[in-house]
Structure 1
Amino acid sequence: MQKFLIVFFVLFSFAQSSSAQDKFNSQIWNRKNHERGTGQVDKEPWYEWWYYKIILPKSDDAFYFVYGIVNPWDIERGSEASRATVEAGDFKNKFIINKVYTPAEYYSAYNKTHVEIGSHLATDKNIKGRMVNARGQKIAWDFTIEKLWRWNAMGWMMPTGITNISWYPAQADARCTGWISSNGRRKLFSKVPCYQDRNWGTSLPKWWTWIVSNKFENSPQTALAIGGGQPITFGNIHRLASVTVGFKYKGKVYDWRPNNLDQIKMNISFGKWEVVAKSLLYKIEVSAYAPREEFMDLEFMGPDGVVFHDYEALRGDLTVKFYKMSPRGWQLVEELNSQHAGIEYGSRDTYEMQSLFNSYRTLY
């Protein structure tokens, strides 16, 4: 009986933990009022979005899709920033299509990943939609998602609201099956590398950066997720900057977080990103690069109406060196390479792409 109770407690605790993590991939806005049944509505500035990316290694195609909401309480659109949006981008052909809806045309569930904006659907298992812009460019998509790894990037800070932005790689490693049609080119695919994450908060950070890959040469079960920036902390502190690093390697996950007192340094010389993260036992060195022509400017509207420019590439080159501490110092475990890395740097400031690639920034 005692063994049964122990097993039951362990399974129950795991189920509770998994359920709590899954909450981060469903709607966050107004959740406390919803769970308490108060009937009240949060009306502070707010945004959240669901981001998906997919690469087709055989053809070097890369696409992204975003389903988002800004100020969901502002049904009448009293602010121009208030909106629901669906956005899709084709990195190979360098075009982006964005469609704006009213907040009234947005729905998201609290108990599961389920987002509807107009006729577009996004869940953790399937996304689909269809758009055309004024220039006649068209894109449509319908594919399923098989989750392989989710990662709590912020650790114990995730549910606290200490920062004005949260980041959650809900499917840091995943495989997708289905089709995408872009300007008449229909691509069918099965179990190709894909990715999905979340952002939400009350305002956008001063800057944001991101490096991800789940397609490494000769290492099919490896995945890397790096993200962070310079948020506002505790409501009015603007000087703290941070990035977190998650690395799935041979069935085990390794984390480096500043809130766990791990040492992390990051430099950006467009378009080269370099990260070194160390804990007591493990170290990772990351170098990511993409030429100027691989980047596109993804624009995100903040709750205050300021446009956040997110310079992103999805076909970057990535080198990862993974070390373990030994009595003789750091010993290299393995060097890994990817030609399908997602790389980005975002900021409220507007930069010309050429000037970005001629600059060097020691960010953190």
Structure 2
Amino acid sequence: MSQSPSAPLPAEIRATRPLTVVVAACTRRRPKMLERLLGSYAALEVPENVTPIFLVVENDETARSTEVIAAFEDKLPGPLHAVLETVPGIPMARNRGLVEAAALGADLVLYVDDDETVAPDWLTEIVAAWRGGTAELIGGPVRLTEPQAPLSGPQKTVFDGMVKRFATKEARAVDRMKAGQADRVTVVTNNWLCDMRLVRDLGLRFDEALQFTGGSDTKFFRDARAKGVETGWAPAAIVYETVPPERLTLPYQYTRGRDQSATSFGQKVAEGKWASAATSILILLPLKALSLVLIALSLPVTRSYGLVSLFRQAGWIAGRLTRLFGRASKLYVKTTGN
């Protein structure tokens, strides 16, 4: 006889119960970035009644980050575990992290990316968002930091545009949460807290069919919402992303917009959401094309932000059109950064 899924914890229990929290990151051939992330963990505040465990999931044929990880084993405010997931693909690595978190007895599992660092109060703020509400899947802001290598003029222009774009997304998320529109704030793994009830009782996993396309965390979010999971936002839980210089080009912005659009459209079709897929082609596509013209005309005013938006928008249009003819995204076949 199958057991019914457990209900979310009552608020009075969430507020005070001792928690085991697994802080996880997936990595692949980016030792310098991983080193910076682990260094930021070393400065983390640990909130009361929280036992943190740190986890690195290396997604490669062989372990290449052993020395970097070993250097931090005695420097973090909790034990550090490392596992190797040899099947390539971000969802495979993320799912391995969920398995390991369950084995470590986690109440909550948190994800950040290996090209990020966390603010000293990040853990305090994101756990407080869980304790103080009823959401079981919670996201937070990502802000950009400039690479340590000197940037060319064009790279600096793209970077400035991306900073403004991220700030706009952050402000929009706050406004939507205040308006009671949590379903319109997508929670993804660059700053992510998940109650393990979702994994243990609801059976949520990252879709491994999206091996190299990206989008498995967005689908996790949609699957959670479809099961009635409440999602939330922790506006003061800040992480910082370091952008590799090779991403600071307009062609890369176009490619990223194209591949994300193609993946989104492909998921709608795969899930049988024909009305949504048709709307995105018949209605949104012409509107996006009109918006592209308006963005181009506003460039003298919007400058770097408008330039990045122009190439992202063009990528969105191209992604929808190319996916109609069967082209799938391969966004994460190649690793960028070090």
TM-score (norm. length: structure 2): 0.28
- Which structure's residues are more often strand, by fraction? 1
- Which structure's residues are more often helix, by fraction? 2
Task: With a CA cutoff of 8 Å and minimum separation of 6, indicate the structure with the bigger relative contact order.
Answer: 2
TM-score (norm. length: structure 1): 0.27
